[in-house]
Every structure is written in C-alpha cells, then in structure tokens.
Amino acid sequence: MKRALTVPAWAKINLTLDVLSERQDGYHDLRMVMQSVSLRDTVRVAIGTGASLLVRTNLSFLPDDNTNLAAVAAERFCAAAGLDLGGLSLEIEKSIPVCAGLGGGSSDAAATLRALNELTATGFSDARLAEIGAQVGSDVPYCVFGGTALAEGRGELLTRLPVLPHCWVVLCKPEFRISTPQLFAALNVRRIVRRPDTAGVCAALEQGDLGGVARRLYNVFEDALDPRRATVVAAVKAMLLEWGALGAVMSGTGPTVFGLFDDVLTAQSAANALARQYEEVFLAEPV
Ligand code: C5P
C-alpha cells in the first residue's frame, strides 16, 4: 500500500565557522554555531509505490537518480532498519539555492530520514537518524535536529544551544558557485590568523543578546576566497550593513551572505535594495 508524507527541509546558516585542523581521513575538524531558518525546500516521500526509485526535482540540473543525497539517505535508512520499502518516490521542491553554503542537499537528506522514520514507524531516535545521516554528508546530522546548535568534529558532534533571539535574516546568494572540497583545499589551516569568538557567541546566546551574536558573526572561509569572489562577498556584506544589519557574514563555504536584523521593515528594505542587484535574495526567520 502506498503511503506518503510531505516534510519541510530548512536551510541552515553558520553564525560562526572555524576550521581547527586537518584530519587523517581527509576531512577537517570544525567548530560552528549553526542556525536553521525558514527558507525551505519541501520533500514528498512516498513508499510502497511498486516502481523502483523515482526522484523528481523542480531543478533540471540536480541528480534524479540514486546519487541525489535524499536517495542516498533513503538507501542508508533502509540498510539500517533492514527494510524493503516496496518502491520509493522522492519529490523535492527546491527553494534553497544549490551549492550556496545553506545546506540544502543535506537538509533534503535529513528530511527524507525523518519522513521515512515516520512512514515506516521504525521509531529511530533523532540521534540514530543523525548517525545514519553522517554517512550521507557532514551537515546532515545537524539538519536532522535543526535549531541553534554547536557542531564540532566533522560536523556530527552536536550540542544544543539556547535559541537565537527572534530576528530577521536577509540572505543573498551572489551569482557564482563555490566547490566545498576546493575551498577546504584552498584553506591553509596553519595560516588562519583570525578566528571566530565561538565562546563569545555561545555566551551571547545564553544571555539572549542578539547584538552580541551579530557582532561576532565570523567565517574563516571568507579569508580563503579568491580575490574576485572576496570582492563580491565583501560588497554584499557592506550593503547589508549599510541597510541596517546588526552583523553580516558568509554562510558555510558560501557564496551566500546573510545579515541579521532586529526589525522587519529594515530587513525588508535591505532585501529590496539587494534584490535590485542580485537575483537570489530571501527574507527569513530563525526556526
Ligand atoms: O561531508 P560532505 O560530503 O558534506 O563534505 C564535502 C567535502 O567537504 C568533503 O569531501 C571534504 O573535502 C570537505 N569537508 C571537510 N571537513 C569537514 C566537512 C567537509 O574537509 N568537516
């Protein structure tokens, strides 16, 4: 019997991103304060379809086969649960820009895990889903939980933090893409001179101090960008600040830049101003 569920897949932003060291396994040890925001994809998961795997998205350039991260997540879920779904259909409506530093693919994978857990009544805990998600991508464990969290290790060691005080988030994705592995390769960990004040951000969250968080937004990858991209990212940041953001920073490995605002009208004006110059601009809230 066919059963289906439609679930949201929230975008994530990095309030801080620090790269601590290179690891033996080819990954890096990170320390990041993560936040999910209301910009979202929607994933419809149907099981018992009878057919073999069907993956559909509204973006023609995304993989529509078993290499799509949502399909990889489904395969890992079935292996962990020892299940045969009797056919699986994944329909992904993308709104989160792709390769943008917003964890869109990871979030689709996490949403698929949550949906399959419910549809099959498997009863895995979120921690177990996050373990399965870690086999799919480094940001998937965080995306299983969402909210405000400190992510360490490869990204899979999660500590829940006090929620970010309510604010408005203006996101702007410049026109270029950045390859995550290439940007990691371009970063010389031993030469990082400036790092985020992660402890300060955690303390500001503890105190419910939005301004204290916004003042400390920092991402070491901004310093690893080539000059052309660095100029564009700096221009978007400058514009966000000029239009009243309390702080602005690039998210993940970019190129999306976001600003935090304590007032919706100011945020809306900033978004409108950016939208006159950039195609992909969004106004969101923390979730
Ligand atoms: O885990 P995920 O597939 O998202 O990672 C993509 C790439 O980003 C990895 O192949 C690796 O080059 C880099 N990465 C890293 N250290 C991490 C996470 C990602 O070096 N903690």
Whether 139 is catalytic = yes
Which pLDDT tens digit goes with each residue over 253-268?
999 999 999 999 999 9
Distance from the alpha carbon of residue 223 to the mean position of ligand 1, in angstroms: 18
Q: What per-residue confidence (pLDDT) applies to 177?
A: 85
pTM of the model: 0.96
Distance CA 22, CA 125 (A): 31
Q: Could you give phi then psi for residue 81, rounded to 5 degrees?
A: -90, -10
pLDDT of residue 273: 98
The pLDDT score that the predictor gives to residue 52 is 87
pLDDT computed for residue 1 by the predictor: 61
Which atom in ligand 1 lies closest to the alpha carbon of residue 180? 8
What's the angle, vertex CA 164, arms to CA 161 and CA 170, rounded to 5? 135
Q: Which of 72, 138, 139, 177 to mutate to test the pocket of ligand 1 (most atoms within 8 A of CB)?
A: 138
Has residue 276 got a pLDDT over 90?
Answer: yes
| Stretch 138-153: mean pLDDT | 98
Summarize pLDDT for 193-250 with one digit per residue, the tens: 999 999 999 999 999 999 999 999 999 999 999 999 999 999 999 999 999 999 999 9
Q: Is the pLDDT of residue 6 over 70?
A: yes
**173 labelled catalytic:** no
Note the pLDDT of residue 40: 98
Predicted local confidence at residue 85, as pLDDT: 95
The pLDDT tens digits of the residues spanning 44-73 come to 999 999 988 999 999 999 999 999 999 999
